[in-house]
Structure formats: C-alpha cells, structure tokens
C-alpha cells in the first residue's frame, strides 16, 4: 500500500510557483527552466497576465507559474492579491522564492511572510554572481537553520545552480506529509500570547479544516488583514466575535505600553528577526551607512565589549533593585513587626495566638516581604526588555546555553533567580515566559531555584562564618559559581534524560533599540508583580499553616509537658527559666511531626552528614529558605526571641516601639547567626565537611513553597511535584558523594 502511494506520487505533476520582489529575476528563472515555452493567460477574474510553462526533469512533469512581483503578502495591491490568492486557492506544491541576493534585507521580508504561510518553500538566492563580486559572504546552512527552509544559491541568467534547484524540487514537494508548517516568529510576549489564544480558538473551529494554517490566520487577524477579517466574519461570525476582543485588548495594551499598533510592532519584530539572521549568516565586506540601531550593535554586540557591558548592566539592575526596594521593604517590615506586636499584646496566649503569629503573619509577611524586591526587579527587567537590550543578551549567550540544552532566553531566569547572589527564584520562574519551546522552558524553570537566592544567603553566611571564617568570601563566591555549574549541568541532564527534544534554532530576534515609555515599563512590572501576589499569596498562606502545624503537633505527652511545667514553676532565676524553656522548645520540636520526620530520616541523612536537627531545619526550609536558620536556632537550643540582655541593650533611647522592635530583630538575627555558628562549631557531630555537604544540599534541594506555588501555576502540578522530589533526591545523591568521598579522603 505504501509502495503504491509512492509510485502515485512520483507520477503526479509538481506545481511550482515563483514568487519574489520585482526584478528579483523570476522571469529570467522562468525562461531558463521552461526554455522559453511560455503559455500566457489571465489570473481568474482579473486582467493580470499569468505566465506558466512546463518541463520534464528525470521523467517528472514540473509545472511552473510566474507570479507577479510583490514586496509583501498584504492584501492591498492587485499584484499582492493575485499572488496570495494563487497560493491560498490553487495550493501549489511548492513556492520557489526568488531572492535578489544583493538586496537581502528587503527581499527576505517577503521570504519571511511566505514562510509564515508555511507551504513548502525553496529560497533561491538569485544573482549570487553579483553578490559574490560585491563581497557578500552567505552562510547557507545558517540561513537554512534560521529560516527552517531549503536555501540554494543560483544565478538565473547564467544558469548556475539550476540543476541543484531542479533536483531539490521533487525532494521538497514530496515532503512526507506535505503539511503547511508556518515558521513561528516571536513577536514579543504580549503578541505571542494573543497569537497563541487565537490559534487555539481557530484550531478548534471548522476554519482549521482548510489547508490554511491557523497560526497564519491568527497573524493576519492581528494585522487586521482585510481578507482574513472578511472571511472570518462571513464563514464563522461567532468565532470572529469571540476573537475580536482579544485583538482589541492587545491593541489598547500595546497603545499604552509601546504607543504602537500591533501591525507596526509585528513589522518591527520581523525586521528584527532578519537583522539577527543577517548578523549570523551574512558577512558584508563593503559596509553601507548604518542606522543608529546597527551602530549601537556594533558596540554592544562586539565580541570583547559585549560581556563587559552585560556585566555592568546586570550590576546596575541589582543595585537599582536593592536601592529602590530597600525603603519599601523596611516599611513592610515595620508594618508586620507592628502587627505581630499587636497580636502578641492583645491576644490570649495559646495555640491560636501561635498560629496567627508564627503561621499566618509570618506566611503573609513572607509573601509580601518579597514583593517590593520583585516589583523593582521587574521594573528593571521590563526596561531591559522594552529597550531591546534583553534580546541582544540572549542573542550573545544563546550559543553557550544551547550547548547545555537551554536557550538564550533562559539567561534572565537564572540571573534573576540568584545567578548573582541575592536574587529570587519567583521572578526567575516567571521570567521564563519568553521561552517558546515548552521543554526548554520547563528545564529552565526546574534549574532556576538552584541559584543562590537572597533567602539562602543568611544561611550560607552563618555556616561559612562558623566553619570557614578565614575563607568566607571565597566560599560564598565559590557557591555562586557552583550554582551556575550545577544549573547548567542539571539542565543538560534533564534535556538528555527527562525532557529530550531537539534544540530550537538559534535566536535571531534583534528588534530595533527604542527608548521605553515609563507607562509601558510600569504596566509590565505591575502585571507581573500582581501576578505573583495573586499566585503565590493563596498557596503560601495555606502551606505556611501546614508547615507550622507540622512543627507544632502533636503535643508533648502529658507527663513530659507537666514535668516541664513543674520545673518552670520552681525555677528561681530568669536564666534557669530560659534554659528550661529552650529545652522545652527542643523537646517539643523533636516530638512534632516535622521532628519525627527528621528523626526517621536520620539513618539516610547521616550518610550525607545531616543529623535529625538539621533535617528538621531542612523541612522548615520548604516554607522559606531563611527558616532553616531560625529552625536550627531552635533545634540547637538557642534562644531567639526573649533574650533579656539583648532587649535591654537596645532600649535606653526614646525610639518608637516599632523601630526598636525592628532593630531588636536585626541584632537578634546577627546574634543568632553568631551564637548558632559558635554552637555548631563546638558540636562534635559538625565538621567543615558536614557544612560543605549541607551548603550544597541547601543549594540544590526542593525550592521554597512560594516558588513551588509559582511553578505549579506556570507549568502544572506534575512539574511542581517533580521539582520537590527530584531536586531533593538529586541533592541528596550529590551530598552523599561529597560527604562519603570527603570521609574517604580523610577530611
Ligand atoms: P523579475 O522582475 O523578477 O521577473 O526579474 P527579471 O527576470 O526581469 O530580472 C531583472 C533583471 O535582473 C534583468 O535585467 C536580469 O537580466 C537580471 N538578472 C536576473 N537574474 C540574474 C542573475 O542571476 N545574475 C545577474 N547578474 N543578473 C540577473
Ligand atoms: Mg518578471
């Protein structure tokens, strides 16, 4: 049966349409192919002359149609209409896009539009003889990879490359499925999202039964193309009514953010795509005068200057984020300190008070505490994106990232996630939306939480201070570098074994530079920040309560509890009381569900160097990484909140109670780090090797719950669960190797 189909195919005549700009050489090619035996007629319904001819190559009939010369596939001019209707209605087996190689920039614009329709296409780089004499070098494989189409250099008038062309025609025309596969150009996040929505709608309608790809219809619909609009309104009025609000919403959104129509933005992005392609695949020895954008790229994409400038930009981004968000973070901190003071003073002691204080206020405070940082980071990122610089960064780094199965667009996620210590995985995960390929996006999301985020920093500081006081800076730096290595290496593993798939072709988008509008930046930043609050907010409160419950219940056995009560009653000094209270806290924690899990895991975790108290802290680290520090404080019996010496040391001035409380908190934290470090240093179960193992485990294991919540909302429950389980097991295995290896080497 298969054989029959094949032989049928090979007798079928192939219909080829020649499309191209005026003067690209279509007629010259047509004459060479058909040996001047042209038939002349008219296109249906119009007085435009249609020329067609026939030839037989290796026994196969090839029918060639010379389309009118056009610059684009809009529906404005008669020539454009004729050319487009021929393609859409006659369904030629393939298009030979005749391109004037000496004027690639203008010619390739039509090429892109043809490729966006998706029918089988050969791009014939005509006048290659002239291009070569003028010093143009064209990297054909690169061009093919970028355009996802076959590209062939020819010179129609002297007959160069025509045999290759004739041989390629049946190969492309008989492409196994003969489906139309449109090239997908990224038009920026806003338009891409609208395109996706429209394509989905179109695919689920009867319109999609025709050969015309939904993606192309969607592109044309957003461009308010007359023909597509009319066709939809006539054939599927309900669908048109459903789609129209998407277009209107996008139009007004773009109006506020970029002060442009969708069509203008899309044209810009197409030229941006071509600019990128040109940079990668075409070398000109004679340079023409360049517009500002190209001149800037001369500097910003320069091999030597680009990395320096990039580092400087990232440095400024971080500085800006912390500088701008600092005061707001302070206000929020004051507010929550005030709130907990109020709760402390006005609610009766008991479980409910503990829940509200330690569970809810801490949980909500945790979510909101991140918000200013995230908001300002998004302001910075939006600026970089809207200005066109972000596209350059990904353009530069794409090659390196592709080696690890990632994409140039992954870089922002990793940097924001803590690629430079102090980021946050939540905006990092959200920054992956610019990735079009789902597998690359999921991979990026899964490795982003491995970076040194701001919450891991105090934990790292404490541990390095305790065990490597003389090499603190080096170890912190080493951890950041190690995080990068781990993320890239893990991405490679994921792409090899879990998310296997072809790499997307290199990035070509080089949209023109532009000065972003303030309203655009603020709107983009606001949308993302609000998205975070909405997404993380709901989940994290629930999870904080669960974690608090796990670390609180079950209660101590009645007998143990009353023993403690009795001892507390007879304690005669404040110091004695405090010691007993600390002891009670530890007993309580060990007895809780989290404590029991920590203890139960000890046989396994000890192999990597972690005893039960560390385990509890790591369980607490699910809530937020900085909780590791406070939980260790409790588990190693350090007082955290009621040290009278501390309280007195900071009272004598007349500061307001919130400022005092905040200062107390800071001093407490510093003291906690110091004391805990000291305690660990004295503890015989701890050693530099244990610390090393723990540092690396904290880097890799499950993300915090706010991040997990965002992963869940972005790519679903399956991957959220995967990130918890797989990262934890993965981290464990690595620490097992480090710890056991270290022991064997005698550390
Ligand atoms: P059309 O408008 O696309 O049909 O282009 P034509 O076939 O009329 O060609 C336009 C001009 O380009 C003519 O003067 C051709 O002689 C010239 N031309 C076409 N192909 C080539 C080529 O491969 N090399 C050179 N040097 N000139 C060419
Ligand atoms: Mg012509």
Q: Does a structural domain hold residue 48?
A: yes
pLDDT of residue 509: 67
How many angstroms separate the most distant Cα atoms in the chain?
Answer: 115
Ligand 1 atom 6: residue of nearest CA: 25
Q: Around ion ligand 2, which residues have CB less than 5 A away?
A: 27
Instruction: Look at residues 284, 307, 326 and tell me which one is the last residue of a structural domain.
Output: 284
What digits encode the pLDDT tens for the residues 667-694? Answer: 666 666 677 777 788 888 888 999 999 9
What digits encode the pLDDT tens for the residues 350-396? Answer: 778 877 877 677 667 766 776 787 788 788 888 888 788 888 888 88
Note whether 116 and 71 are same-domain residues. Answer: yes
Q: Structure tokens of 31?
A: 């004459």
Q: Does a structural domain hold residue 721?
A: no
* 721 CA → ligand 1 middle, Å: 61
Residue-by-residue DSSP string for 7-67: HHHHHSPEEEEEEESTTSSHHHHHHHHHTT-EEEEE-TTS--EEEEEEEEETTEEEEEEEP
pLDDT of residue 649: 36
pLDDT of residue 506: 67
* 126 CA → ligand 1 middle, Å: 8
Nearest ligand to the CA of 23 is 1
Ligand 1 atom 10: residue of nearest CA: 23
Task: Please state which of the ranges 195-204, 293-302, 379-388, 666-675 shows the lowest mean pLDDT.
Answer: 666-675
Note whether 167 and 198 are same-domain residues. Answer: no
Please state the atom number of ligand 1 nearest to the C-alpha of residue 18.
3
Give the domain CATH number at 271: 1.10.287.1770
Q: Does a structural domain hold residue 550?
A: yes
Q: Strands 94-100, 60-66: parallel, antiparallel or unpaired by DSSP? A: unpaired
What digits encode the pLDDT tens for the residues 29-72? Answer: 998 898 877 777 777 766 677 888 999 999 899 999 999 888 88
Which residues are bridge partners to 707 per DSSP?
A: none
Q: Which residues line ligand 1 (CB under 6 A)?
A: 20, 22-28, 69, 126-127, 129-130, 155-157
* 18 CA → ligand 2 middle, Å: 10
Note whether 129 and 235 are same-domain residues. Answer: no
Q: Structure tokens of 296?
A: 């800037």
Instruction: Look at residues 113, 142, 173 and tell me which one is the last residue of a structural domain.
Output: 173
Note whether 97 and 160 are same-domain residues. Answer: yes
Nearest ligand to the CA of 71 is 1
Half-sphere exposure of 426 (CA within 13 A, CB side): 35
Look at the block and give the residue holding tokens 């991140």. 370
* 346 CA → ligand 1 middle, Å: 89
Determine the number of helices (DSSP H) and then strands (DSSP E) in the chain: 33, 9
Q: Does a structural domain hold residue 377?
A: no
* 30 CA → ligand 2 middle, Å: 9
Ligand 1 pocket test, pick from 19, 21, 28 with the greatest ligand atom count within 8 Å of Cβ, gives 28
Note whether 11 and 154 are same-domain residues. Answer: yes
Please state the atom number of ligand 1 nearest to the C-alpha of residue 28.
7
First to last CA, the chain: 70
120, 141, 176, 285, 287 from 101: Cα distances, Å: 21, 16, 30, 14, 15
Nearest ligand to the CA of 31 is 1
Q: Which of 196, 204, 203 lies closest to 222 in space, CA to CA?
A: 196
Residue 148 buriedness (CB in 10 A; 0-12 / 13-18 / 19+): middle
Note whether 551 and 669 are same-domain residues. Answer: yes
Q: Using CA atoms, how far apart are residues 13 and 11, in angstroms rounded to an integer?
A: 6
The domain containing residue 41 runs over which residues? 2-173
Other Cβ atoms closer than 10 A to 237: 10
Q: Structure tokens of 139?
A: 């990297």
Nearest ligand to the CA of 102 is 1
Please state the atom number of ligand 1 nearest to the C-alpha of residue 160.
23
Ligand 1 pocket test, pick from 66, 126, 134, 156 with the greatest ligand atom count within 8 Å of Cβ, gives 156
Please say if the pLDDT value at position 564 is more than 50. Answer: yes
Ligand 1 pocket test, pick from 23, 128, 136, 152 with the greatest ligand atom count within 8 Å of Cβ, gives 23
Q: Using CA atoms, how far apart are residues 169 and 171, in angstroms rounded to an integer?
A: 5
Q: Using CA atoms, how far apart are residues 623 and 619, in angstroms rounded to an integer?
A: 8
Q: Which of 510, 358, 500 lies closest to 438 in space, CA to CA?
A: 500
Q: Which of 182, 382, 181, 188 lies closest to 266 in space, CA to CA?
A: 188
Alpha helices of 456-517 — where are they, by DSSP H?
A: 456-467, 472-493
Ligand 1 pocket test, pick from 25, 53, 110, 128 with the greatest ligand atom count within 8 Å of Cβ, gives 25
Please state the atom number of ligand 1 nearest to the C-alpha of residue 21.
3
pLDDT of residue 301: 82
Q: Using CA atoms, how far apart are residues 457 and 626, in angstroms rounded to an integer?
A: 8
* 266 CA → ligand 2 middle, Å: 29
C-alpha angle 415/418/422, rounded to 5°? 125
Q: Which of 74, 27, 72 lies closest to 51 in space, CA to CA?
A: 27
What digits encode the pLDDT tens for the residues 386-403? Answer: 788 888 888 888 888 989
* 78 CA → ligand 1 middle, Å: 23
Q: Does a structural domain hold residue 515?
A: no
Note whether 588 and 620 are same-domain residues. Answer: yes
Q: Using CA atoms, how far apart are residues 283 and 160, in angstroms rounded to an integer?
A: 22
C-alpha angle 546/551/553, rounded to 5°? 85
DSSP, res 358: I
Note whether 550 and 652 are same-domain residues. Answer: yes
Note whether 606 and 663 are same-domain residues. Answer: yes
Comparing 134 with 509, the larger pLDDT belongs to 134
pTM of the model: 0.66
* 28 CA → ligand 1 middle, Å: 6
Q: Which of 259, 511, 250 lies closest to 385 in space, CA to CA?
A: 511
Spatial contact of 67 and 19, defined as CB atoms under 8 Å apart = yes
Ligand 1 atom 17: residue of nearest CA: 25
Percent of the chain with pLDDT over 90: 32
Residue-by-residue DSSP string for 663-693: HHHHHHHHHHHHHHHHHHHH-TT--HHHHHH
On average, the pLDDT of the chain sits at: 83
What digits encode the pLDDT tens for the residues 628-672? Answer: 877 787 777 543 333 333 333 333 444 445 555 555 656 666 666
Cis-peptide, bond into residue 554, ω within 30° of zero? yes
Ligand 1 atom 18: residue of nearest CA: 25
Q: Does a structural domain hold residue 211?
A: yes
Q: Does a structural domain hold residue 716?
A: no
Spatial contact of 230 and 202, defined as CB atoms under 8 Å apart = no
Note whether 21 and 150 are same-domain residues. Answer: yes
Most confident of 58-67, 434-443, 513-522: 58-67
Q: Structure tokens of 618?
A: 């790591």
* 411 CA → ligand 2 middle, Å: 47
Q: Which of 436, 438, 391, 383 lies closest to 411 in space, CA to CA?
A: 391
Please say if the pLDDT value at position 729 is more than 90. Answer: yes
Give the domain CATH number at 73: 3.40.50.300
* 117 CA → ligand 1 middle, Å: 26
* 23 CA → ligand 2 middle, Å: 7
Nearest ligand to the CA of 158 is 1
Please state the atom number of ligand 1 nearest to the C-alpha of residue 156.
23
Backbone phi, psi, residue 425, to 5°: -65, -25
Q: How far is CA 269 from the centre of its chain?
A: 19
Note whether 151 and 88 are same-domain residues. Answer: yes
Q: Which of 138, 141, 54 lies closest to 101 in space, CA to CA?
A: 138
Ligand 1 atom 24: residue of nearest CA: 127
Ligand 1 atom 9: residue of nearest CA: 25
Instruction: Look at residues 284, 316, 340 and tell me which one is the last residue of a structural domain.
Output: 284
* 13 CA → ligand 1 middle, Å: 27
Please say if the pLDDT value at position 260 is more than 80. Answer: yes
* 29 CA → ligand 2 middle, Å: 9
Question: What average pLDDT does range 292-310 have in this prediction?
Answer: 81
Note whether 125 and 154 are same-domain residues. Answer: yes
* 32 CA → ligand 2 middle, Å: 13
**Can you state the angle between helices 389-403 and 362-387, rounded to 10 degrees?**
100
Q: Does a structural domain hold residue 382?
A: no
Q: Which of 738, 687, 674 lies closest to 461 in space, CA to CA?
A: 674
Please state the atom number of ligand 1 nearest to the C-alpha of residue 22.
2
**What's the chain's Rg over C-alpha atoms?**
33
Q: Using CA atoms, how far apart are residues 519 and 513, in angstroms rounded to an integer?
A: 17
Q: Using CA atoms, how far apart are residues 313 and 511, in angstroms rounded to an integer?
A: 19
Spatial contact of 629 and 459, defined as CB atoms under 8 Å apart = yes
Nearest ligand to the CA of 19 is 1
Ligand 1 pocket test, pick from 26, 157, 159 with the greatest ligand atom count within 8 Å of Cβ, gives 157
> What is the tally of structural domains in the chain?
3
pLDDT of residue 692: 94
Ligand 1 atom 19: residue of nearest CA: 25
Please state the atom number of ligand 1 nearest to the C-alpha of residue 154.
23
């Amino acid at each position: 049966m298969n054989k029959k189909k094949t032989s049928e195919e090979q007798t079928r005549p192939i219909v080829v349409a020649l499309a191209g700009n005026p003067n690209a050489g279509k007629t010259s090619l047509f004459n060479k192919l058909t040996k001047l035996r042209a038939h002349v007629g008219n296109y249906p319904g119009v007085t435009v002359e249609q020329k067609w001819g026939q030839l037989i190559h290796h026994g196969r009939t090839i029918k060639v149609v010379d389309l009118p010369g056009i610059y684009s596939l809009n529906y404005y001019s008669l020539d454009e209409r004729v050319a487009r209707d021929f393609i859409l209605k006659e369904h030629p087996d393939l298009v030979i896009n005749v391109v004037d190689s000496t004027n690639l920039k203008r010619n390739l614009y039509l090429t892109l539009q043809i490729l966006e329709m998706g029918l089988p296409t050969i791009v014939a780089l005509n006048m290659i003889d002239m291009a070569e004499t003028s010093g143009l070098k064209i990297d054909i494989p690169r061009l093919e990879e970028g355009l996802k189409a076959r590209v062939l250099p020819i010179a129609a008038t002297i007959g160069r490359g025509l045999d290759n062309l004739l041989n390629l025609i049946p190969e492309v025309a008989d492409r196994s499925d003969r489906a139309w596969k449109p090239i997908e150009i990224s038009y920026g996040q806003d338009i891409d999202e609208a395109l996706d929505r429209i394509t989905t709608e179109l695919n689920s309608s009867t319109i999609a039964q025709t050969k015309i790809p939904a993606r192309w219809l969607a592109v044309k619909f957003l461009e308010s193309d007359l023909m597509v609009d009319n066709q939809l309104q006539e054939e599927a009025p309900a669908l048109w009514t459903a789609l129209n609000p998407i277009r209107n919403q996008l139009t007004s959104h773009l109006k506020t953010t970029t002060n442009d129509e969708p069509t203008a933005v899309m044209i810009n992005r197409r030229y941006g795509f071509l600019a990128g392609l040109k940079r990668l695949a075409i070398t000109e020895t004679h340079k023409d005068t360049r517009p500002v954008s190209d001149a800037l790229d001369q500097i910003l994409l320069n091999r030597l200057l680009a990395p320096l400038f990039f580092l400087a930009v990232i440095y400024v981004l971080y500085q800006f984020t912390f500088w701008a968000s600092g005061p707001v973070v302070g206000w929020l901190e004051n507010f929550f300190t005030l709130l907990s003071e109020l709760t402390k003073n006005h609610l009766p002691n008991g479980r409910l008070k503990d829940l509200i204080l330690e569970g809810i206020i801490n949980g909500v405070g945790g979510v909101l505490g991140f918000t200013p940082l995230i908001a300002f980071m998004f302001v910075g990122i939006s600026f970089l994106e809207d200005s066109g610089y972000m596209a350059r960064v990904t353009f530069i780094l794409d090659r390196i990232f592709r080696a690890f199965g990632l994409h140039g667009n992954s870089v922002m996620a990793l940097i924001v996630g803590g690629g430079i210590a102090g980021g946050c995985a939540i905006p990092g995960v959200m920054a992956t939306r610019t990735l079009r390929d789902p597998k690359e996006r999921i991979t990026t999301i899964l490795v982003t939480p491995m970076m040194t985020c701001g919450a891991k920093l105090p934990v790292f500081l404490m541990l390095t201070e305790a065990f490597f006081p003389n090499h603190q800076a080096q170890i912190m730096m080493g951890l950041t570098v190690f995080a990068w290595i781990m993320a890239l290496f893990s991405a490679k593993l994921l792409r090899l074994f879990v998310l296997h798939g072809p790499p997307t072709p290199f990035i070509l988008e080089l949209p023109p530079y532009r000065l972003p509008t303030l309203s655009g930046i603020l709107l983009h930043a606001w949308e993302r920040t609000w998205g975070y609050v909405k997404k993380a907010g709901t989940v994290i409160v629930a999870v904080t309560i669960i974690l608090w419950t796990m670390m609180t219940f079950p209660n101590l056995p009645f007998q143990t509890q009353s023993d403690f009560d009795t001892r507390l009653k007879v304690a005669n000094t404040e110091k004695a009381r405090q010691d007993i209270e600390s002891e009670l806290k530890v007993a309580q924690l060990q007895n809780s569900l989290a404590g029991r899990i920590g203890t139960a895991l000890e046989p396994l975790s000890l192999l990597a160097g972690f005893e039960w108290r560390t385990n509890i802290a790591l369980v607490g680290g699910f809530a937020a990484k900085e909780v590791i520090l406070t939980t260790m404080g409790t588990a190693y019996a350090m007082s955290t909140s009621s040290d009278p010496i501390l309280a007195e040391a900071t009272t004598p001035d007349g500061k307001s109670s919130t400022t005092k409380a905040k200062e107390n908190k800071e001093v407490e934290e510093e003291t906690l780090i110091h004391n805990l470090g000291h305690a660990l240093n004295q503890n015989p179960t701890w050693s530099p090797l244990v610390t090393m193992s723990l540092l690396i485990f904290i880097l890799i294991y499950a993300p915090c719950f706010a991040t997990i919540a965002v992963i869940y909302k972005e790519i679903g429950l399956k991957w959220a669960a995967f990130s918890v389980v797989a990262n934890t097991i993965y981290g464990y295995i690595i620490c097992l190797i480090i710890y056991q290896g270290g022991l064997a080497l005698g550390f």
